[in-house]
Amino acid sequence: MLSKHPQPTAPTSAKCTIETLRSAVLSISQPLLLLHTILKDTEMKKALITGANKSIGFETARQLLNQGYFVYLGSRDAERGAQAVAQLKSEGLDNVELLQIDVSNPASVEAAGKKVSELDVLINNAGILGGMEQSALTIGLDTVREVYDTNFFGAINVTQTFIEALKKSAEPRIVNVTSGLGSLTLHSDPNWKYYQVKTAAYGTSKTALNAYTVVLAYELKDTAFKVNVVDPGYTQTDFNHHNGPGSVEDAAKIIVKYATLDADGPTGKYFSNDIDTADQESPW
């Protein structure tokens, strides 16, 4: 049945012109939009944080995302990593991608390395304690090896795997997350507040990481790289059954500070949240 009130329709020629115009605009704007996304992606600095599915690493990811970085969120467990990524995205922090990486597993590190071609910041954060019983006289070599596999050999392997991606950056930064328990000078001072906290595997693995960082920074000293070790301070996390006094926010803040150094920033140094001087530089 014919409608009593026929709907007004645009004359065929006018309809054609509008449609032609629309498809012309679309054909121009879509490549422009794509170009804009590509340019935005290439402008955005990219950071990889290992062990970022929780605690200090996770908060470091959040702070870098808030500063406009793209973050590869490193997690050895895909499920835990996906949950962390989902949490950040639910906070409106979209520029984050899960990178499954178990730093103590060479095959996992190699596979992760193939997924990242350019990087501006590497934060070797993944770390384990290895239990509380760490006497120099009795500790099992298995425990020492296990701790070193993550805290020392893992950090070296990750660094070597991602170094070519970092070399593509104009301002590459490496932060190796250490501990005050890695300082030989502080450990030799009976007045130091953690003098009695001696750990034959964990502390020594961080001392070794410090030594590696000094060598690495030396080899990269005539380049744009800034390479430092940062101790986030005794922080309340799963690591110490939430006994630490510091917050993950403050711990991440000092890591982010040295991950985002400008060209005048230091390299080959040791900084700590537990050092009360203005520059927070720690003795080795």
- Of residues 49 and 165, the one with the C-beta less far from ligand NAP: 49
**Is there a catalytic annotation at residue 104?**
no
Please say whether the beta carbons of 198 and 134 come within 8 A: yes
Residue least distant from ligand NAP (Cβ): 127
Catalytic residue, from 55, 75, 104, 179: name it. 179
**Cα gap 85→97, rounded to integer Å:** 7
20-53 exposure pattern, b = at least 16 Cβ within 10 A, e = fewer: eeeeeeeeeeeeeeeeeeeeeeeeebbbbbbbbb
Catalytic residue, from 45, 46, 54, 206: name it. 206
**Cα gap 74→56, rounded to integer Å:** 12
CB of 94 vs ligand NAP, minimal distance in Å = 21
**Residue 95 backbone phi and psi in degrees, to 5:** -85, 55
CB count within 10 Å of CB 168 equals 12
- Of residues 127 and 172, the one with the C-beta less far from ligand NAP: 127
**Is there a catalytic annotation at residue 253?**
no
- Of residues 55 and 228, the one with the C-beta less far from ligand NAP: 55
CB of 18 vs ligand NAP, minimal distance in Å = 55
Q: Which residues bind ligand NAP (CB under 6 A)?
A: 50-51, 53-57, 76-77, 80, 102-104, 125-128, 150, 154, 177, 179, 231-232, 234-235, 237-240, 244
CB of 270 vs ligand NAP, minimal distance in Å = 12
- Of residues 47 and 103, the one with the C-beta less far from ligand NAP: 103
- Of residues 93 and 224, the one with the C-beta less far from ligand NAP: 93
CB of 22 vs ligand NAP, minimal distance in Å = 50
CB of 247 vs ligand NAP, minimal distance in Å = 11
Active site residue ranges? 179, 206
